[in-house]
Each structure stands twice: as structure tokens, then as C-alpha cells.
Structure 1
Amino acid sequence: MIEFELEGYEFIELNKLLKITGLTGTGGEANTFIVDGEVSVNGAVETQKRKKLREGDVVQFQGQEVKITKAY
């Protein structure tokens, strides 16, 4: 599992997370995977490209999981 730490922010948008973590090559590619229903958040398929992810959320994509954490 990959842990992504929110640094100074309350949330990150789903498409940005996929790009920043390297799970997709570009933001456009991330958007396509999301709209096609290939990404899940907390076990449910998510099709909102700009879904706000907060601490504790878990994203599943192509066999990978990313857990959102927060710096204190």
C-alpha cells in the first residue's frame, strides 16, 4: 500500500492523486480511467474526476492501493 501524506492541505482531488503518485502518466489519462469506472474509493467505484479525498480515504486502482494520511 502506498501512503500519500496531505501536506498543508485538507484534501487532494482524485485525478491529481493518480498523477502525483505515478499510477497514471498524465492527468488526462487519470480522468479517462476514472470516468470509465476503473478507480474505487473506499471500496466503491468513483467516477467523479475531482472527488475530494481526505485523511483516511483509500483509493484502489489496477491492483494498487493508496491511503491518504495527514501530517501533524
Structure 2
Amino acid sequence: MAHDVPIGDDSIRLGQFLKLASLLDSGSDAKSAIADGQVTVNGDVEVRRGRQLHPGDTVTIGGESARVTQG
């Protein structure tokens, strides 16, 4: 089950969201995990750290999921 993570804008970059949602600790961790294909967005592997996420998108890594919500 994904937990909801509100964002203040209309979108957020994947690397930033991973840190905001506490799925990863740092930007370097996010960069590595994304490059290694460990991160999915809405069920699809995403390798672009700058991918824009919008409310309703769900990000999963290592069995943990977070859903982008409007803050």
C-alpha cells in the first residue's frame, strides 16, 4: 500500500520525490537507484531522474511505494 506524499507545486522531479517521500536518503542514492533500474513509476521502470511526477503518480522502490498528492 502506497503512502500519500503531498507536493506544493503541480509537479516534482523523481529524484526530489524519492527524498521527500523518505524512500531514499540522498540525491546520490536516488541517482544510483534510478540508473540501476530499481525505481518504477506507475508500474514501469523509470531511468530518468528528472522525470516529472504529478498528483496520482505512484513511485516504488524496494517494495515501498509512495503516491504523489496535491499539497
User: What TM-score, normalized to structure 2?
Assistant: 0.91
Distance 2:7 2:22 in 1: 16
Superposition map of 1:1-40 within 5 A: 1-7=2-8, 9-40=9-40
State the shift of 1:24 in Å: 1.1
SS at the partner of 2:24?
coil
Matched, 1:62 2:62: yes
**Displaced runs of 4 or more, over 3 A:** none
- RMSD over aligned Cα, in angstroms? 0.9
User: 1:13-60 CA deviation, whole Å, 9 max, x = no partner?
Assistant: 101111122211110110100010000000100000111000110111
Any stretches of 5+ residues in structure 1 without a counterpart? none
Any stretches of 5+ residues in structure 2 without a counterpart? none
Aligned positions, number: 70
Indicate the percent of aligned positions where both proteins have the same amino acid: 31
